[in-house]
Amino acid sequence: MPEQSPLDLAEDDPFGLHNLPYGVFSTADEPDRRRIGVRYGDHVLDVHTAASALGSPHSDVLARPTLNALMAMGRPVWQAVRADIRTWLGYPAIEPFLHPLTDVTLRLPFEVADYVDFYASEHHATNVGRIFRPDGEPLTPNWKHLPIGYHGRSGTVVVSGTPVRRPSGQRKAPADPAPGFGPTQRLDIEAEVGFVVGSPSALGEQVPQSAFRDHVFGVCLLNDWSARDIQAWEYVPLGPFLGKSFATSVSAWITPLEALDEARTAPPARDHELLPYLDDSGLEPGGLDIRITVAINGHTVSEPPFSTMYWTAAQQLAHMTVNGASLRTGDLFASGTVSGPRPEERGCLLELTWAGRDALELPGGNRTFLEDDDEVTLTAWAPGPGGVRIGLGEVTGRIVPNGR
Ligand code: CA
């Protein structure tokens, strides 16, 4: 029986022609050489080598060790390269440029410029408000008027598969007389979707929601690891700091925005009038129907629906630049924890266990927060054309003990 070609992909493969996410990989022969690739089924197409062999006008930006140069070219080039890759995957001669995923090492696909994390799920923000401020209103007075966010640490954004060392820090429970220091005892995850900026903007320029597609190159899955005990003691009055900055994991694959056209959906109805720069009535639907699964050591613990997010990525982009702050190629902004209305749709252990009150029953032992050697994996898919699923690249990470 002839061996099946990697080009013969099932019509309904979640990493088929409708998807084509970008990544950066190395092979065992040349472990230090980083090459741009596109995932096709369980293979990666060496896009640079293919572009050189086929005489692509964009082979220069495709020869770089990260996606940044390609992302900086802007939407017309993104569309042209994507169309070319689709064409190339129809040529039998392209087969030698496809490597099995099992033979390559996936790298951080882009150099992260600035990193911003939002707080856009009403269900998440309400639950966290109830947990942290049980005597107050769960949502702060500003929550429905602007997308709340903070600047994170771009230098500690790591690619899926990178081990995450349990951080140490100051902790002080309300009843403790003084803070202590040590490894976090409340290590958590936050299931999020990240948006990667391609085209920059000038200092002083506001980027309207209508320009979202011109600036945003693609989408990744993101895990905002969080040390809840460190966070609870440090976060008033300036927000998250060391409880978050030790690591943020992103998927190795960046799904082009165009691949998610069929997944566009209207966000939940707003019950507050928005200022004009945030008003999205009359614009194309800004929500995305992305179905996320959170697994701990292979066991599903939650299925957060991204379609329930109150603020859209286009609103976040408009808000992030409304003061004239400029965008840089490689900027990453994350949605905030994705939590749906139902208990089994909550995107972090803080909510799933109600701050440790209700342990999750898992086959390997109950969990309130993460233990050493636990592995957390986020996967997701979105509806594509003709009922095909568009797979997002997984983001996974294993907790390494503090002393190791
Ligand atoms: Ca977060």
115 Cα to the center of ligand 1, angstroms: 11
Identify whether residues 37 and 83 lie together within a single domain.
yes
Residue 12 resides in a domain: no
Q: What is the pLDDT of residue 138?
A: 95
Which of 107, 125, 142 delimits the end of a domain? 107
User: What is the 3-class SS of the chain, one letter each residue?
Assistant: CCCCCCCCCCCCCCCCCCCCCEEEEEECCCCCCCEEEEEECCEEEEHHHHHHHHCCCCCCHHHCCCCHHHHHCCHHHHHHHHHHHHHHCCCHHHHHHEEEHHHEEEECCCCCCCEEEECCCHHHHHHHHHHHCCCCCCCCCCCCCCCCEEECCHHHEEECCCCEECCEEEECCCCCCCCEEEECCCEECCEEEEEEECCCCCCCCCCCHHHHHHHEEEEEEEECCEEHHHHHHHCCCCCCCCCCCCCEEECCCEEEHHHHHHHEECCCCCCCCCCCCCCCCCCCCCEECCEEEEEECCEEEECCEHHHCCCCHHHHHHHHHCCCCCCCCCCEEECCCCCCCCHHHCCCHHHHCCCCCCCECCCCCCECCCCCCCEEEEEEEEECHHHCEEEEEEEEEEEECCCC
Predicted model pTM: 0.97
Identify whether residues 201 and 218 lie together within a single domain.
yes
Q: In what order do the strands lie in the sheet with 22-27?
A: 98-100, 43-46, 35-40, 22-27, 104-107
128 Cα to the center of ligand 1, angstroms: 12
Q: What is the pLDDT of residue 403?
A: 79
Note if 123 is an active site residue. Answer: no
Identify whether residues 146 and 103 lie together within a single domain.
no
Residue 6 resides in a domain: no
Identify whether residues 70 and 206 lie together within a single domain.
no
Spans in the chain with pLDDT lower than 50: 1
Identify whether residues 97 and 188 lie together within a single domain.
no
Backbone angles phi, psi at 381, to 5 degrees: -145, 165
- 304's CB contacts (< 8 A; 6+ apart) are 191, 292, 294, 337, 338, 339, 340, 345, 346, 347
Identify whether residues 299 and 206 lie together within a single domain.
yes
Identify whether residues 97 and 120 lie together within a single domain.
no
Token pair, residue 130, equals 């109830």
* Distance between CA atoms of residues 324 and 73, nearest Å: 22
Q: What is the pLDDT of residue 1?
A: 46
Q: What is the pLDDT of residue 3?
A: 64
Residue 55 resides in a domain: yes
210 Cα to the center of ligand 1, angstroms: 25
Identify whether residues 99 and 125 lie together within a single domain.
no
Which of 49, 76, 107 delimits the end of a domain? 107
Identify whether residues 193 and 321 lie together within a single domain.
yes
276 Cα to the center of ligand 1, angstroms: 26
224 Cα to the center of ligand 1, angstroms: 5
Q: Indicate if the alpha-carbon torsion angle 135, 238, 156, 331 is positive or negative.
A: positive
258 Cα to the center of ligand 1, angstroms: 25
The count of structural domains within the chain is 2
Domain extent, residue 238, equals 115-400
Residue 98 resides in a domain: yes
Q: For residue range 307-351, what is the model confidence (pLDDT) as tens digits?
A: 999 999 999 999 999 999 999 999 999 999 999 999 999 999 999
149 Cα to the center of ligand 1, angstroms: 9
Which residues are near ligand 1, the ion (C-beta closer than 5 Å)?
117, 190, 224
Residue 3 resides in a domain: no
Which of 107, 126, 151 delimits the end of a domain? 107
CATH of the domain at 35: 2.30.30.230
Residue 259 resides in a domain: yes
Residue 10 resides in a domain: no
Residue 8 resides in a domain: no
Annotated catalytic residue: which of 43, 123, 124, 319?
124
Which residue in 11, 12, 9 sits closest to 38, CA to CA?
9
270 Cα to the center of ligand 1, angstroms: 22
Identify whether residues 60 and 167 lie together within a single domain.
no
Q: Which amino acid is at 270?
A: R
- Whose tokens are 């286009």? That residue is 314
Identify whether residues 139 and 278 lie together within a single domain.
yes
Identify whether residues 134 and 83 lie together within a single domain.
no
- 256's CB contacts (< 8 A; 6+ apart) are 20, 21, 22, 78, 82, 217, 218
CATH of the domain at 360: 3.90.850.10
